Every structure is written in C-alpha cells, then in structure tokens.
Amino acid sequence: MIPPEARQELIQITGPRGYLDRPEDLTLYEYDGGVDKARPEMVVFPRSTEDVAAIVKVTGRYDIPFVGRGAGTGLSGGAIPRAGGVMVGFSRMDRILEIDLANERAVLQPGVVNLDITLAVQSRNYFYAPDPSSQRACTIGGNVAENAGGPHTLAYGVTTNHVLGIEAVLPDGSIITAGGKEQDVPGYDILGLLVGSEGTMALVTKVIVRLMRQPELVKTCLAIYDTVDHCAATVAEITARGITPVAVEMLDGVMLRMVEEATHAGYPLDAAAVLLIELEGLVETVEEQLEQIRAVCHDSHAREFRVARSAEERELLWKGRKNAFGAVGRVSPSYYVQDGVVPRTKVAPTLREIQRIGEKHGLTISNIFHAGDGNMHPIILFDIHKPGDLAKAQSAGEEILEYCIDVGGSITGEHGVGMEKMELMSRLFSEDTLDLIARFKKLFDPACRLNPGKVLPTGKGCLEIRQPALTSGSPVY
C-alpha cells in the first residue's frame, strides 16, 4: 500500500494531471500483450529524467516497489507490476531530442515510437533498422529493455546492435550514462548489460541509436509451398549456400488464411506454408541473390515463386505479416504468443512437435516466425471464457519451450523472460550462472524494488523479498 504521504509527494512531482490512481484507470495498466495481469496502485507520468529520479527517490524513502512501462506491447509480462506499487509510464517522454545525420545518430526519449524514428529520417534516405512487428506502437525504451528484434534482424541484428548509449535512473535515484555517440567507449560494457535487462536494473530515460542509409535496391519475394517440411527445409538450404537475406519469414497454412482474410495481401489460401523473403543492397548484388534464392526455392519444391512488382505490392505483403496478430484476433477470442529459438536445421521437426502438442491439448496452434534465425512464434488459440482453456494454452506453451531447449535452442529470441518464462531459466542455465545473474540484479537493486518477480526463477530472484506485497496486492492470473 502506498502511504498517503508518498502519494502526495509523487503528485507534487508530476502535477495534478500527471498521475492516475482511480481503479477504473488502473485497470488499463494491469496487462501487456501477454496473458498475465497485476494492477499497480498508482501510475505516474514523468516528463524528464529529473522527474524520474525524483519519483524513484520517493519510492525508496517509503520502500515502494516500482516498474517502468512503455507502450505495453510486451509479450512476457515484463511491465506487469507483480508487487503493485508505482508504475512509471513513459508516454509523455516522447521527444526526438536530436537527429545527427552527419554522424548517423539520433538521440531519443524512451517514449518515442519505434516507427517514428524511421519516419523522421526517411525523406533523407535513412532508417532505423530494428523493426518489431509492433513497431507502429512499441517504444524505444521498451525495445531497449527487452532487446527487441523483428523480421529484419537476420541481417541487421537486434536492438543492442543499434543502441550506442543510454541515460538511466538507478533504483537509488542516481542518474548514469553508459556508452555514447562514439563507436566505442572505454571501460566495462555497462551498456551491453543494461540493454535486454528487462527493466530490472534501471529505468532508461534517454537512448542514442545508430541510423542507417536506405539500401539502393529492395526486392521482396514470396515462395509458396504445398508442404511445411519443404518450406522449412528451404531456410536451411539458403544458409548452406551462403546467402543472407535481410529477412526470411515463414507463415503456415493456418496463419496464412487468417492473415489473408483480414488484409487481402495476396497470400494463397490453399498453401501449406509460405516464405516471405527480402533482399537489400546494391542493385547488382540484389539481382544476383534474387536468382540464387529463386533457384533454392525451386530446388526445395516451391510450387510458385513471386517477386513483388512495386513498392505498393511489397508493402502489402509486409502489411499482412506485421498485422498478423490483429488478424488472429478476428478468429479467436484469445491467443497466447510464444517465443522460442531453435537451430535452423530443427525448424521442420519443431513445427511437427508444435502440431503434436496442439493436438494433445485440443488446441489450434498457428505459426508465423523469423525462420531465418530459427525464432519460432507459435500462436496458441484459446477461449479465455472457457474454464481451463488458458491453463491448457500455458501448458502447451511451456512444452514447446522445453522442446526448444532439448534441441539446442532457447526460451526466448526477442520477447524476453519476464514473469512468463522465469521458472524455465533453471532448465537453460546452471545454478552458478543463475547465482551470477542474481548478484548483478542485487548489485543494481539491493532492496529488490525495481520490477520484482521477473527473469530469475523462484528462489533466485526478488520474489521472496517482496512476497508480502505480492500476496496482498492485485492477483496475477
């Protein structure tokens, strides 16, 4: 419970229109893009780094847990306030502070929407590479916390490859910087530690990112298959021939039909699976790679190979891919998105195992994922109003992730561990490694007030320290 004195101090920092505490307002902040829920006791909206530091100091004086939140598009419960307390919303810190094209840099507040970075510079032939499927809504602060990826990470990498520096507020209210505009800075890589730390070590208040020049030529292709195995085998064959597209996305038949009915992007309704492949670079290189890709797909039994004939056609194909989650929502009242990684050579058997798990639990599971780097995104359809259906979906998701581990993969490629997968961390890491991660967490946050109950499994993290708040606050369900 937030003491009245602390509440008043927070209101003095944010102003009378800079906070929410009515139950009907707080309900909007009890969930993210996943399936877990827990309600904060108060949401505050700072406008500056100094506001964030002052808010954090108030929470420290009264021993109040707190958590940061961007756009709430996360899929692993990273911004869910498990211990109640204060939620720090960054929606009002949404300014692009500087664009430095001479040095290919941009300085941003954490509430800047991912796509708005590219929109701000595309007229001058630049773009920001990491492009999560939620890029029209997700914000750069959340991208940094989760080390977000996207379809084009196969060639460009994930957020950590494009963030050069940050400013952040630590749990004691102190303000630090890590990295900078320079290509490299001396000392320990604190920046690398904080990017992807899932909001458990610091609240990011400023981000310096790398901008890239738009490529000379872009070609987008659609390879259509009558079997999932032939489609999956193509991905490994592309890699074996030394070709690196900027994106290789796979959609199975179940997903294809949902996407096409919603977006009319031109996907075939009768196919078992498709690959959406994109090439970028110099004209001569792209044209050569296009013919190599065409040959690989033909040799791997693609029934048809299409190349987008215009920018509009290309954008329509990507609209279908990036609006897929919305398309699922038209068909199923609820769905549960998973995020595991397997070696490329294991994509086909993993898809077969996902189908087996779905049949075992009596659930439909569709697949749309970053096939180029083996980042699987099975989407488990269920009915939240049907007793036991959510539990079945979660059990199916856990079995899928356990299989990913068994074949040499991981429990997350870009969504993070959050509260969703924390108990699986002990399957992935040794006791000594988990202890080391816990020591880093407690070095930054010794009182375990910042986003407690995330990442580390029970017994290793901060769940026990803040247990009274967890059991007396809003339920997690």
Chain centre to alpha carbon of residue 449: 23
Quick one: pLDDT at residue 475? Answer: 41
Quick one: pLDDT at residue 183? Answer: 81
Quick one: pLDDT at residue 198? Answer: 98
Residue the block writes with tokens 């604190």: 190
- Percent of the chain beyond pLDDT 90? 91
409-422 confidence digits (pLDDT tens): 999 999 999 999 99
Quick one: pLDDT at residue 426? Answer: 96
Instruction: Return the number of other C-beta atoms located less than 10 Å from residue 313's C-beta.
Output: 15
Cα dist. 359→160, 290, 340, 422 in Å?
Answer: 38, 38, 19, 26
The pLDDT of 267-285, averaged and rounded, is: 97
Quick one: pLDDT at residue 181? Answer: 92
Instruction: Give the whole-angstrom CA distance, residue 245 versus residue 378.
Output: 23
Residue 386, CB-side half-sphere exposure with 13 Å CA sphere: 14
Question: Do 237 and 153 form a contact (C-beta atoms < 8 A)?
Answer: no
pLDDT band at 87 (very low <50, low <70, confident <90, very high): very high
375-406 confidence digits (pLDDT tens): 999 999 999 999 999 999 999 999 999 999 99
Residue the block writes with tokens 């960054």: 90
pLDDT band at 462 (very low <50, low <70, confident <90, very high): confident
- Percent of the chain beyond pLDDT 70? 97
Residue scoring higher pLDDT (406 or 477): 406
Residue scoring higher pLDDT (184 or 309): 309
Quick one: pLDDT at residue 463? Answer: 62
105-123 confidence digits (pLDDT tens): 999 999 999 999 999 999 9
Query: 307: burial class by Cβ within 10 Å (0-12, 13-18, 19+)?
Result: middle
pLDDT band at 284 (very low <50, low <70, confident <90, very high): very high
- Which residues, listed in sequence order, are joined to residue 167 by a DSSP beta bridge? 177, 206
Query: 280: burial class by Cβ within 10 Å (0-12, 13-18, 19+)?
Result: buried
Quick one: pLDDT at residue 185? Answer: 86
**Is the confidence at residue 467, as pLDDT, over 90?**
no
Chain centre to alpha carbon of residue 98: 25
pLDDT band at 465 (very low <50, low <70, confident <90, very high): low
**Is the confidence at residue 82, as pLDDT, over 50?**
yes
Chain centre to alpha carbon of residue 271: 28
Query: 367: burial class by Cβ within 10 Å (0-12, 13-18, 19+)?
Result: buried
**Is the confidence at residue 466, as pLDDT, over 80?**
no
SS3 track for 287-313: HHHHHHHHHHHHHCCCCEEEECCCHHH
Question: Do 271 and 230 form a contact (C-beta atoms < 8 A)?
Answer: no
Rounded to two decimals, the pTM is 0.94
17-40 confidence digits (pLDDT tens): 999 999 999 999 999 999 999 999
Question: Do 279 and 293 form a contact (C-beta atoms < 8 A)?
Answer: yes
Mean pLDDT of the chain: 94
Pairing state of beta strands 86-89 and 42-44?
A: parallel
Quick one: pLDDT at residue 184? Answer: 82
**Is the confidence at residue 436, as pLDDT, over 90?**
yes
pLDDT band at 326 (very low <50, low <70, confident <90, very high): confident
pLDDT band at 325 (very low <50, low <70, confident <90, very high): confident
Quick one: pLDDT at residue 469? Answer: 47
Q: Give, to the nearest 10 degrees, the angle between helix 49-61 and helix 4-14.
A: 170
Inter-residue long-range contacts of 388-397, CB under 8 Å, 24+ positions, other chains counted: 389/334, 390/35, 390/334, 390/336, 392/361, 392/362, 392/363, 393/35, 393/334, 393/336, 393/361, 393/363, 394/35, 394/336, 395/361, 396/357, 396/358, 396/360, 396/361, 396/363, 396/365, 397/336, 397/338
For residue 303, give both structure tokens: 């029934």
Residue 342, CB-side half-sphere exposure with 13 Å CA sphere: 27
- DSSP labels, 427-441: HHS-HHHHHHHHHHH
**Is the confidence at residue 220, as pLDDT, over 60?**
yes
**Is the confidence at residue 130, as pLDDT, over 50?**
yes
**Is the confidence at residue 472, as pLDDT, over 60?**
no
The pLDDT of 56-63, averaged and rounded, is: 98
